[in-house]
Chain A
Amino acid sequence: MSTFDLAEAVLLGILIVTAVAITRARSLFVAAMLGGLFSLVTASLFVLLDAVDVALTEAAVGAGISTVLFITALALTNSREATTPRRRVIPAGLVAVLATAGLVYASFDLPGVGDPDSPVQTHPITDTYLRESQEDLHVPNTVTGVLASYRGYDTLGEVVVIFTAGIGVLLLMLGPRRPADEVKDRAYLQTEYRVLRVVSKTLMPFILLFALYVLLHGEYSPGGGFQAGVIFGAGFILYTLMFGLAAVQRVLPMRTLVVLVAVGVLIYAGVGVATMALGGGFLDYNEFNPGNPSGGQVAGILLIEVGVGVTVAAVMVAMFYSLVRRGVRR
């Protein structure tokens, strides 16, 4: 058994145990924290499976943002779960067992993990993305190249989905509420622990600097707009948890955030319109520098990554703000 197999088996084992513990935990706080652990272990597994860009995103989103999101939800609802009635357990368990059996049976037709002759590896597009991209784009990180250039339309669609989800949360959370039972202006989620306050304050500039590095160096090392956006968002969420909404809103007010949510999408789509104005197709970055197409590609990719980063970061922070504000005003 190689080191890879051993490490993979251990991580998958931890995941199974964590997942079972999550479904069994009656305290939702425990379930949310275990969910953070689940995501962190998954991120390690992604590194092992060569997906470093994905690992970066999963670590920031799964272990950071979504854990905080669930805990905020618990603060606004109930943190204990009612016991699951038996009439629900048996049919659900039966469906899960049967579906697992079906999937395992179907997996016999799949090529083995890491098989060099699998259709994924022998398809001509693999060669385009890994070899020809170096001629077309001169972007060593092929994940960034494929994301921003070859599949630029697709990524624009994803950014619009994030934009729409962000608007949805704002509409749901900032709307009118029922008359409040009691108005409590308590310092929401703030902590009295000095160590945490000092550490988070010291870390803040480094988190933001790292986010910028991940954004601007994403063509050469793991990184890009999505990763930078979630790291940036996680930094601001950490700061809000420690120092409260009022402190962070002096730097980044809600009004600015709402504008930024749209600005990112507009930058992305604007790059597409600009390339059309220059005589090319939508998102055809070659037009930025007709004499040196790969130079135009590098510029275009960087621009749209900035757009992605702005929208993702703004949506993450705006969603968190709106949830916390609902708590403060209740």
Chain B
Amino acid sequence: MIATHYTYWIIFALMMIGLYAVMSHGNLVKKLIGLNIFQVAVFMFFISLGRVDGGSPPIITEGIEVYSHPLPHVLILTAIVVGVATTSVGVAIAIRIYEAYGTVEEDNALARDAAEEGTQ
């Protein structure tokens, strides 16, 4: 069990370290970095599902019979590029928040909103 499944367990631990960073940290840029860790761990999980013992990369070559499954590779390589595109939307929003509030700390921004509501 341990020999065949430890890869999954380490990947799950990585996912949850990423999720922990998203939940516990108030800094928006740090949240995005945590989200990135979570995302990469999910990619690893997909790729590990497609692997087969003694297999080769799925590029058909004469004399090789066993290949890993190409479909997870297809899904993940597009997801990586989509991931960086969406991450940069997040980064752009964080920069706009900084320009509006002077901070990227969630707590400070919320406190400022609360203070402004109080004065009105």
Contacts and interface: CB of A to CB of B under 8 A. Distances in A.
Interface of A: 5, 8-9, 12, 15-16, 19-20, 22-23, 28, 31-32, 35, 38-39, 42, 45-46, 49-54, 57-58, 61-62, 65-66, 69-70, 72-74, 76-78, 81-82, 84-85, 88-89, 91-93, 95-97, 99-100, 103-104, 107-108, 110, 112-116, 118, 120-121, 125-126, 129-130, 133-134, 140-143, 145-147, 151, 154-155, 158, 161-162, 165-166, 168-169, 172-173, 177-178, 220-222, 224, 226-227, 229-230, 312, 315-316, 319, 322-323, 326
A113 B27 contact: no
B20 A165 contact: no
Contacts of B82: 158, 161-162, 165
B16 A28 contact: no
A327 to B, nearest CB: 9
A28 B34 contact: no
Contact of B93 (A88, A96, A172, A226): A172
Contacts of A112: 3-5
A35 B33 contact: yes
Contacts of A89: 24
B60 A134 contact: yes
A16 B13 contact: yes
Interface residues of B, number: 86
B51 A50 contact: yes
A185 B99 CA distance: 18
A91 to B, nearest CB: 8
A46 B26 contact: no
A226 B77 contact: yes
A155 B77 CA distance: 11
Contacts of A229: 81
B48 A49 contact: yes
> Shortest 3 CB-CB distances between A and B: which pairs?
A112-B4, A165-B85, A92-B24
A139 to B, nearest CB: 9
Given A51-B72, A112-B5, A146-B71, A22 B32 contact: no
B29 A99 contact: no
Given A96-B23, A230-B81, A222 B89 contact: no
Nearest to B27: A81
Residue in B37, B77, B83 with the greatest tally of chain A CB atoms within 10 Å = B77
Residue in B1, B72, B86, B89 with the greatest tally of chain A CB atoms within 10 Å = B89
A107 B98 contact: no
A57 B77 contact: yes
A107 B5 contact: yes
Given A121-B69, A147-B74, A161-B85, A113 B7 contact: yes
13 contacts: A16-B13, A42-B40, A46-B47, A49-B50, A54-B76, A61-B80, A104-B12, A108-B1, A155-B78, A173-B92, A178-B100, A229-B81, A319-B88
Interface string B4-15: 111111111111
B67 A142 contact: yes
A118 B105 CA distance: 46
Given A23-B34, A114-B51, A50 B68 contact: yes
Contacts of A130: 58, 60, 67, 70
Given A66-B84, A78-B104, A319-B88, A19 B26 contact: no
A55 B64 CA distance: 21
Contacts of B60: 130, 133-134, 140-142
